Structure 1
Amino acid sequence: MNRIEKSQKIYKELFGDGVPAAYAADPEFQDILSRFIFGEVFYQGGLDNKQRELITVVVLAANQTLPQLKAHTHAALNVGLTPVEIKEAIYQCAPYLGFPKTLNAITEVNEVFQARNIALPLESQKQVEEENRLDKGLAVQVEIFGDIITKIRESAPSNQKHIQDYLSAFCFGDFYTRGGLDLQTRELLTLCIVSSLGGCESQVKAHVQGNLNVGNDKARMITAITHCLPYMGFPRTLNALSCVNEIIPA
């Protein structure tokens, strides 16, 4: 197949037989978009369409491109992702985007679920309690990043130790411990989320190492970041790839 045929095949799998409303006004732009995203990027590397759509929805949430998030929530369901997997991917954004932007994304996802008669709320994926969320979160943090976490916590200024506790209990305790997605998937999604945010190169580097530690190799990370390209643009994609290459030299 050439890239036009490839794009038509992927587009149909994701969205069905419909034609984008924008096609009538901007057909040439839509052709460029479709042939690049669905005829090239979707075929680069070893991710399947479920993994690609999880990446797509978190990057769209990060960018707050909400109409496209709604469309790709439909696509995510169409390629076989469960409502729990989609919702957990959006929840995973909260520590990096903040609550307001994550709530905006949740609203869009819930509208799609309601339109498709998916009952809300979904089954609980919570796996921590008030008394153990810090300890369990810290355990996950150490699993991802190693013993350096203990050194970071011990060296934090006394007036900022609460931030380290929040990081362990909230980011890793409240979210990384949840069911619905495995640790490798959550860490790959986090890499994509922080790559899509400007000025987060130090966090990108940390999560490149974290991905390595949980079993996502360099090729998988490059594929994931490449998949983000049409949604976050070349500058942030190239910055993220530079971080990967710095942490994992050729």
Structure 2
Amino acid sequence: MYNHDKTFPNDRLPLTQTDPDFIERFDHFVLHEVANQDDLDDRTRMMAIVATLIGCQGIDEFQVILPVALHAGVTSVEVKEIVYQSVAYLGIGRVLPFLHATNDMLTVQGVELPLPSQSTTTIANRLTAGIQAQVDIFGNQMQDFWKSGAEETRHINEWLAANCFGDYYTRTGLDHLQREMITFCFLSAQGGCEPQLTSHAVANIRLGQDKHFLIKIISQCLPYIGYPQSLNALRCVEEAAQQSK
């Protein structure tokens, strides 16, 4: 069970003075009911929450949660990889404040920047490597996806393979299972991406992260994105489970 004073040593204190009724119920819900709902380990839980807060643009809560995540065992490299990969799903316009906040927090914690490079590709081979990552995650039908579609939009599918997968999914620091889990969190948190959310739920299930695991992830992230987005995510998981039978 979480201990409030150890989990949020200072950041919640002003709210206990100005909004005691709210913070009593919110803390009880998040730190007791939600946190003890299932057997998800703290490190995975915190990785999911960090990704979810980027997805919902919760920069203030992100700054509260990040040191908690680091304390729970999420490494500096893993945090950076979550932030980097979120650019492919949210765009730099929404992610840049989180990158700055991450750098500031790591610097305060005495982490020397830049971190060791996690890149495994070059500009020359990123497309080929990205295609292979898509195949590994989604199946052989992705082998030629990069050159499919109408001619005027085909370059987007090529960018998806080379940039989203070739630049990010091929990096070390996180494995494919972790990357698909955080992608699920990015998409569920931002909303309006239900087709992609269902596809990535299918990918999670294909990699071995089953329906029950994804429900655990949704449950732990619910306080940060609310019920409507969480219920949408549950519906997408159910659709994915049906498709995966």
Q: TM-score range by the shorter chain?
A: over 0.9
Contact 1:145 1:210 (C-alpha < 8 Å) held by counterparts:
yes
Is residue 2:16 matched to residue 1:20? Answer: no
Q: 1:120 aligns with which of 106, 113, 135?
A: 113
Partner SS state of residue 125, structure 1 = coil
Aligned residue among 223, 232, 245 for 2:238:
245
Query: For 1:100, what is the secondary structure of its paired residue?
Result: helix
Give the direction of change, closer, same or farther, for the CA distance of 1:12–1:79 in structure 2 (3 Å limit).
farther
User: What displacement does 1:57 show?
Assistant: 1.1
User: In the alignment, is residue 228 of structure 1 matched against residue 228 of structure 2?
Assistant: no
1:11 Cα deviation (Å)? Answer: 3.0
CA RMSD, 1 decimal:
1.7
Partner of 1:136: 129
Aligned residues: 243
> 35, 48, 70: which is aligned to 1:42?
35
* Greater mean deviation of Cα atoms: 15-24 or 209-218: 15-24
Give the aligned residue type for 1:36: F
1:155-209 residue CA offsets vs partner (Å, 9 max, x unmatched): 4111111101100011111111111111101101101110112211100110011
1:1-250 pair list within 5 angstroms: 6=1, 9-16=2-9, 19-150=12-143, 152-249=145-242
Deviation of residue 16 (structure 1)?
A: 4.3
Percent of counterpart pairs with the same letter? 36
Letter in 1 for 2:162: A
**Matched-pair contact (CA < 8 Å) for 1:201–1:243:** yes
SS class of match (1:53): helix
TM-superposed deviation, 1:99: 0.8
Mapped contact 1:84–1:180 kept (Cα < 8 A) = yes
Structure 2 gaps of 5+ residues are none
Residues 63-93 of structure 1: CA distance to partner in whole angstroms, max 9, x if unpaired?
2221111111111111122111111111121
**How big is the shift at 1:227?**
1.3
In the superposition, relative to structure 1, how do residues 170 and 242 fare at CA in structure 2: closer, same or farther (>3 Å)? same
* CA apart distance, 1:152: 3.9
1:196 aligned counterpart, secondary structure = helix
Q: CA deviation at 1:231?
A: 0.7
Q: Is the Cα contact below 8 Å between 2:50 and 2:66 reproduced in 1?
A: yes
Q: 8 Å contact 1:46–1:220 — kept in the other structure?
A: no
Residues 163, 116 of structure 1: CA spacing in aligned structure 2 closer, same or farther, 3 A cutoff? same
Runs of 4+ aligned structure 1 residues displaced above 6 Å come to none
- TM-score w.r.t. the length of structure 1 is 0.92
TM-score (norm 2): 0.93
Moved more, 98-107 or 10-19: 10-19
